[in-house]
A and B are shown apart, each in its own frame.
Chain A
């Protein structure tokens, strides 16, 4: 079945890393996979340095190429035409949506959005200071017009411990209950695979992450 997912959430919550890993995890089936860098605020930066590498791995990547934007500077809001028509593509489509709540108001620009099976998942890192407790998280997520699930991506970069992840799992469970939406998965760095196994303490599937965004670094 065709999968159409968008990853939204607080700035620097890990949306791009999860979108990349999710898109890569869908490769190998019968359907092609397209990853769309849907960031209108700083459209030339997020996935640009990774485009070639990801294409080499088999993804179709819709993002600006350095050669396309020479001289654009800080142009401001700009929608790449291929992004507008991304839902018309065959196969799975994964959207990486930049810039928090305002960024998520972009979906009305996509052709065919009303008839699509788009699922919007919020990525949550409870180590981010503005989304570190139940009250703040619920307040923040309530601003989104549509949310179909939560991804727990609680980590402290290189200093992440199992306890950091477990803490996020519990917090997400509480948020999910208050908001009436499911937790879809816990995301964790590959290095935790041996300790975490297939599911977290609440039974949520683990999406293991290989780090790509380190190469984007801006």
Chain B
């Protein structure tokens, strides 16, 4: 047995478990990992599932090795993935950059913890800079920021498909709260829903002589001269832009008559929606906008919101990392007001957002 059973059913679990099950559902074959809280249970759970579903696991000596062995697995034709957090995400930048340059699909799940450095093992939204533009180069990654266990499941499956379809590394950005909290979700086998999973292919060691029996594959992360890199970079950027239009995602609610729009991503967007609903019940015209892909960022969607309402309250468990992406997207767009709640490494509740809007307008 290497696939999920036919029965679709709701199950009660932690976010880390949801990721491990989703990786099975997405057809992942091997996880290469190095332990770090709060993602450990992805590894623990994967190793419990592995013998049941005929999967493999490799524990490496650090995150650099976890990243490069994941790439090795992919080059060998396997759907390989890894998971990490915090300082591990820092170390992962080198394999991620290599995957960007060589156009190697890989999936990395990041459960954000406090930073910088070891900080806390618990929670933050302080890895946005790292996952979007953390490597050397141009940030050619796909980043999905999830807000629930169902989304962890759905977007993990999506990340595998996007990575293998477009050949860019794909990151699932969760956090320690999503990792550890418990809620129910619907588990399903995507293929039984008619979702065609992209099948992995062997990248190196294909049969036949390259150039004679088949076209040669150029998997390169090193270039001799500036012009050569320039041409490669411009081609990749063009393909990234083309992909961006197809995969960019955002969620928005109650924008049309809004006087204030709350901006949030990930688990904090749950507090934003709850705050919006409570304020609406009291007669305040509040809307909400949430980027689901942080990279590529839903710029056009946000600009369309700004045309209707440009009084923004941006809320994040970091000191302005989402705000940086937000400002970039609205460069040269006139906005009326911009307020923030920044709480690096600390959760944000609906009550705090309600209180802020009621006292600041």
Contact = CB atoms under 8 A, between A and B. Distances in A.
Interface of A: 11-12, 42, 73-74, 125, 127-130, 132, 155-159, 217-218
9 contacts: A11-B14, A73-B121, A74-B121, A128-B12, A129-B17, A130-B48, A157-B12, A158-B184, A217-B180
Nearest to A13: B12
Given A129-B187, A218-B177, A159 B11 contact: no
Nearest to A130: B48
A132 B17 CA distance: 15
B184 A159 contact: yes
Nearest to B120: A73
Contact of A12 (B13, B123, B187): B13
A130 to B, nearest CB: 7
Nearest to B182: A12
B13 A129 contact: yes
A54 B37 CA distance: 27
A125 B13 CA distance: 10
Nearest to B12: A127
A156 B123 contact: no
Contacts of A155: 12
Nearest to A217: B181
Interface in B102-134: 118, 121-123
B10 interface: yes
A217 B270 CA distance: 15
B135 interface: no
Contacts of B17: 12, 129
B55 to A, nearest CB: 15
A130 B12 CA distance: 10
B118 A127 contact: no
Contacts of A217: 177, 180-181
B184 A128 contact: no
Interface residues of B, number: 23
Interface in B176-226: 176-177, 180-184, 187
B316 interface: no
B161 interface: no
Contacts of B41: 11
Contacts of B12: 12, 125, 127-128, 155-157
B34 interface: no
A42 B44 CA distance: 15
B312 interface: no
Contact of A157 (B118, B123, B182, B187): B182
A217 to B, nearest CB: 6
A183 B68 CA distance: 50
B168 interface: no
Contacts of A127: 10-12, 184
A125 B12 CA distance: 8
Contacts of A42: 37
B184 A157 contact: yes
B13 A128 contact: yes
Given A12-B182, A73-B121, A156 B177 contact: no
A42 B48 CA distance: 20
Contacts of B140: none
Nearest to B347: A217
A128 B14 CA distance: 10
Contacts of B177: 217-218
A128 B121 contact: no
Nearest to A127: B12
B11 A218 contact: no
Contacts of A74: 37, 121
Interface in B1-47: 10-14, 17, 21, 37-38, 41
